[in-house]
Amino acid sequence: MLQNGFAAGPDFFVSLGARNKNDGRVYKIIRDINHPDYNVTTENNDIALLELNETIVFNEKIKPACLATSDVADHETLTVSGWGYLKDSSKKLPDELQKAEVRVLDISGCSKANKKMHICAGGVNNISDACHGDSGGPLAKWHPKWGSCLGQVFGIVSSGGVCGSEHPRTKYTNVFNYVEWIESIVWKEN
């Protein structure tokens, strides 16, 4: 899944299973599927899917992620991960994949957020959060039934405030609202 507004081309790829910039399995993106009702002004329907050039091979580092089967609970702690800047003032991207714990907040805490379409979350202890460059990354937790073998994706980084600030807040696309749309594309023969 990905933030909308992305355009696939001959030089676009994804690297799966990477913890640093020098490892992971590279797959070429051959098509992007943007949500047909994406609205750049409201940031509603800020989600897209990517079709890769070959079937993903799962292993110890590359595992499937489950879609949310329920809405996220208020004050729940989840993990956001990405390759974005460590601070808004930074001009250097990290060499290692970053992750941070964030807590689900009241929807009014995020600008232009819609309760049905978005999740508002902010840094635990007011220090960790998503940052510029993390857009399209997952907001997830370990699946409650299968523990550390599968992640469950609840949100996708959409937009946020100033990372590294005292009270960081980020708006995430609420994946639970899009499960039917995702399944209609990924498993259209069913």
Boundaries of every domain in the chain: 65-178
User: Of 2-6, 7-11, 72-76, 117-121, which one has max mean pLDDT?
Assistant: 117-121
CB 175 within 8 A of CB 1: yes
The whole-number average pLDDT for the span 133-159 is 83
Instruction: Concatenate the DSSP letters of all residues of 109-168 into one string.
Output: GSTT--TTTEEEEEEGGGT----TT-TT-EEEEEETTTEEEEEEEEEEEEEES-TTSSS-
Is the pLDDT at 172 greater than 90? The verdict is: yes
User: What is the pLDDT at residue 54?
Assistant: 94
pLDDT tops 80 at residue 53: yes
| pLDDT for 90 | 72
| pLDDT value of residue 147 | 62
Please write the tens of the pLDDT for every residue from 61-110: 888 888 998 899 888 999 999 988 887 777 788 899 998 889 999 999 88
Tell me 183's DSSP state: H
pLDDT at 190: 59
Q: Find tokens 């009702």 and name the residue.
A: 37
Query: Taking the domain 65-178, which CATH number applies?
Result: 2.40.10.10
The strand pair at 138-143 and 77-82 is best described as antiparallel
> Rounded to 5 degrees, what are φ and ψ at 123?
-60, 135
Mean pLDDT of the residues in the chain: 85
Vertex 125: Cα angle to 119 and 131 (nearest 5): 55
pLDDT band at 176 (very low <50, low <70, confident <90, very high): very high
Average pLDDT on 12-21 reads 88
Report the C-alpha gap between 64 and 186 in whole angstroms. Answer: 13
